[in-house]
Amino acid sequence: MELNRKNIIRLTTSRLSGWILILVMVFFYGCKVTYSFSGASISPLAKTFNVQYFQNRAPIVQPGLSQNITDALIDKCKAQTSLKYINSIGDVNFEGEITDYSTKPLTVGADALAATNRFTISIKVKFTNAIDPNLSFEQTFSGYKDYNSNLDLSAVEKDLSDQIVEILVEDIFNQAFVNW
């Protein structure tokens, strides 16, 4: 190949294009945010998560509820993110406590008796994001289900509790990872 002015310009232009391409790729790789089908956007620097056991500090303590909430949040994070669960402090961490577990009359019927009751569970959550502390939060999440007052709470409690826990875990996950 003869090195004349035309060939030198072509060679210089192709090398410059190559460098620009490399710089653009490095820049976009450094600014990468991982998206998943769940809508979660998690920094690629985050590799691990931890969920501390949620203590039950509600006036009424339901046995097993603390473990159900803790396990449900771990399962949700495992299923919807690529983060690895660890038993020590992770890149993102959840901790909290159950603050309310109650049922109250919601509507009153013609006979002055409650027609509908509302069953409520509230959880205070502290989420710490060690990678991006601006995404950390401390917030109370509440979920409820209404049920017919003709039913005894003990007859519907397990089913309603499971439904509320699912709602709460979804809300906590969205607040931590979906950022919408």
Q: Which range, of 21-35, 36-50, 72-86, 140-154, averages the lowest pLDDT? A: 21-35
Confidence of residue 15 (pLDDT cuts 50, 70, 90): low
Mean pLDDT of 120-125: 98
- The pTM assigned to this predicted structure is 0.76
Q: Is the pLDDT reported for residue 134 higher than 60?
A: yes
**CATH number for the domain including 91?**
3.30.160.150
How many whole angstroms separate alpha carbon 133 and alpha carbon 57? 27
Q: Is residue 39 part of a domain?
A: no
Residue 36: what pLDDT? 42
Residue 163 lies inside a defined structural domain of this protein: yes
Tell me which residue range forms the domain holding 82: 47-178
CA dihedral 20, 26, 31, 34 (to 10 degrees): 120
Is 171 part of a structural domain of the chain? yes
What percentage of the chain exceeds 70 in pLDDT? 74
- Structural domain contains residue 2: no
Domain-located, residue 26: no
Domain membership of residue 102 (yes or no) is yes
Report which secondary-structure segment, H or E, holds 103. Answer: strand 92-108
Query: Is 7 among the domain residues?
Result: no
79, two tokens: 């299923």
Classify burial at 35, counting beta carbons within 10 Å of its beta carbon; exposed 0-12, middle 13-18, buried 19 or more: exposed
| Lowest mean pLDDT segment, chosen from 65-74, 95-104, 107-116, 161-170 | 107-116
- The pLDDT confidence band at residue 27, using thresholds 50, 70 and 90, is very low
Q: Is the pLDDT of residue 89 over 90?
A: yes
The DSSP element (H or E) to which 95 belongs, if any, is: strand 92-108
- The domain total for the chain is 1
The answer as to whether 29 is a domain residue is: no
